[in-house]
Amino acid sequence: MKRPLGLTCVASPPLAQAGTGAGVVHGLVSLTTGTPGPPLGLELKVARVCPNDRGLPVLGDAFRALADATGARDSVIFAGRHSTGVARAGPEPVHALRSPWPDLIGAFSGVASLLGGQDEGRVAWLMLVVETAVTDVSPATIQALQGLVDLGAGVDIICTHPAADMGLLSRLAQRTGGELLQASAAEIVDRLLRRVALLRDQRVRAARLEVRSPRGVRIQRVFRVEPSPAFVGLLPSSVDAPLVLPVGPVAADAPPAWLISAMTPGRGPGRFRLFDVSLRYEQGGEQLGADAFAGQTLVAEPPKMLPVEGAVNAALARVDTAAWIEEIARAYASHDARRVAGLLDRLVRHAVTLDDRPLVSRAFDLRLSFLRTGHLEATDLNALRRHGAAAARAAG
């Protein structure tokens, strides 16, 4: 049967010597696009929100242009997901919220209550524009965000404030399968339109991707590799619970992929499963799915030739750029100047191995400026993040 989505999973290293104690393995989980099938017929919907919301984005000229282009009149845009049998015409206001949303918690909670009141599966995507310098979120915000995830809604965050913590916003968006779109006012309309077009072009619904590991294999961290590298940081809620990866919209030219790092226990020779991955989704009212697994062989003697999974290692090198930058941000937040200087130096050398000269120059200049002044701006870090993401895309 023709299927719109496939699944692959490979692990690195595929072969190691037994009896050397605990080890680190990396798994690359990738979706592959097959026969697409008809689009789901997504429509753009608009939710009216209270006009004096301080925490919600203020519409700028560029965003108003987008609103004109899409018919949206307010700052929260929904891509409504309808079953093909229920046709609805044109964008229209579907809800009005009167309670103020003073911050992201309010925004996420309010939208969750908004979505919860609708028909199941009708609204699936939220685009939230942040124009304030968000630098911290509380556990309550995460909880509110989780409410959106539970409702099956993804969140794209569009950030236009140069000093907002883009790393944090990116992680928030990643948790729902969404993306952080970093764009200047001049670029934002184009980025949003492209994103909306991608959302409208989806062919599957209710996609759920689960990763299970056998007992003893402990997942440590999760990165998204495609369409752009970012730290996700989702972990299973318990030892036996699967890791649920937020799928998000699937673009044909860059289907999503994730990198999972895990610790393995010290074991004797043999073949061992590391990751079992299952994908379930719906198309045309039919439940479809795909399964894959990756394993590792442990041998008693040191192997003469080292089998390597180049694709996994290449993905690891790409996400390392994002990891280094976030580590620099953490070190700076904890006022550890020595560590910031050391990490900037390492980032330079890492960028050198990727042969990305713009990122090398940017990081090198930042290091130089930090050594001379001891000062680092949030905008510098965001510029580095943008360069890092661009570099990783180029490397891929």
Contacts of residue 343, Cβ cutoff 8 Å, sequence gap at least 6: 324, 327, 328, 331
Min CB(312)–other proteins separation in Å: 7
| 14 binding other proteins? (CB under 8 A) | yes
| 24 binding other proteins? (CB under 8 A) | no
| 365 binding other proteins? (CB under 8 A) | no
| 350 binding other proteins? (CB under 8 A) | yes
Q: What is the rounded distance in angstroms from the CA atom of residue 95 to the CA atom of residue 98?
A: 10
| 338 binding other proteins? (CB under 8 A) | no
Work out whether the CA dihedral 136, 79, 205, 312 comes out positive or negative.
negative
**Rounded to 5°, angle at Cα 260 from 328 and 311:** 95
| 360 binding other proteins? (CB under 8 A) | yes
- Select 93 or 303, whichever has its Cβ closest to other proteins: 303
Q: Binding residue for other proteins (CB under 8 A) from 159, 316, 322, 323?
A: 316
Q: Among residues 21, 27, 5, which one has the least CA distance to residue 295? A: 27
Give me the 213-252 binding string for other proteins, x by CB under 8 A, dash otherwise. Answer: ----------------------------------------
Q: Binding residue for other proteins (CB under 8 A) from 198, 348, 376, 378?
A: 348
| 293 binding other proteins? (CB under 8 A) | no
- Select 282 or 345, whichever has its Cβ closest to other proteins: 345
Length of the chain: 396
Q: Binding residue for other proteins (CB under 8 A) from 65, 193, 314, 383?
A: 314
Work out whether the CA dihedral 280, 283, 284, 288 comes out positive or negative.
negative
Pairing verdict, β 270-283 and 286-299: antiparallel
The piece of 37-45, 63-71, 174-182, 359-367 that touches other proteins (CB under 8 A) is 359-367
Q: Binding residue for other proteins (CB under 8 A) from 163, 317, 337, 383?
A: 317
Q: Among residues 134, 126, 158, which one has the least CA distance to residue 55? A: 134
- Select 137 or 315, whichever has its Cβ closest to other proteins: 315
And the tokens for 3? 């299927």
Work out the burial of residue 40: count CB atoms within 10 Å of its CB; fewer than 13 is exposed, 13-18 middle, 19 or more buried: buried
Min CB(143)–other proteins separation in Å: 38
**Rounded to 5°, angle at Cα 123 from 118 and 128:** 115
Q: What is the rounded distance in angstroms from the CA atom of residue 228 to the CA atom of residue 256?
A: 9
Residues 257-286 that bind other proteins (CB under 8 A): 269, 271
Cα 131 to Cα 38, 171, 376, distances in angstroms:
36, 17, 21
Q: Binding residue for other proteins (CB under 8 A) from 142, 263, 299, 390?
A: 299
| 185 binding other proteins? (CB under 8 A) | no
| 384 binding other proteins? (CB under 8 A) | no
Q: Which amino acid is at 243?
A: L
- Select 15 or 244, whichever has its Cβ closest to other proteins: 15
Q: Among residues 232, 244, 221, 198, which one has the least CA distance to residue 40? A: 198
3-class DSSP state of 294: strand
Min CB(299)–other proteins separation in Å: 5
Q: Binding residue for other proteins (CB under 8 A) from 261, 364, 383, 390?
A: 364
| 140 binding other proteins? (CB under 8 A) | no
Min CB(309)–other proteins separation in Å: 5
Q: What is the rounded distance in angstroms from the CA atom of residue 396 to the CA atom of residue 225?
A: 9
Min CB(19)–other proteins separation in Å: 14
And the tokens for 381? 């870090």
| 87 binding other proteins? (CB under 8 A) | no
| 10 binding other proteins? (CB under 8 A) | yes
Give first-to-last CA distance, the chain, whole Å. Answer: 31
| 323 binding other proteins? (CB under 8 A) | no
| Size of the residue set binding other proteins (CB under 8 A) | 39
Pairing verdict, β 43-48 and 23-33: unpaired
Which residues here bind other proteins, judged by CB under 8 A? 10, 12, 14-15, 269, 271, 297, 299-301, 303-317, 348-350, 352-355, 360, 364, 367-368, 371-372, 395
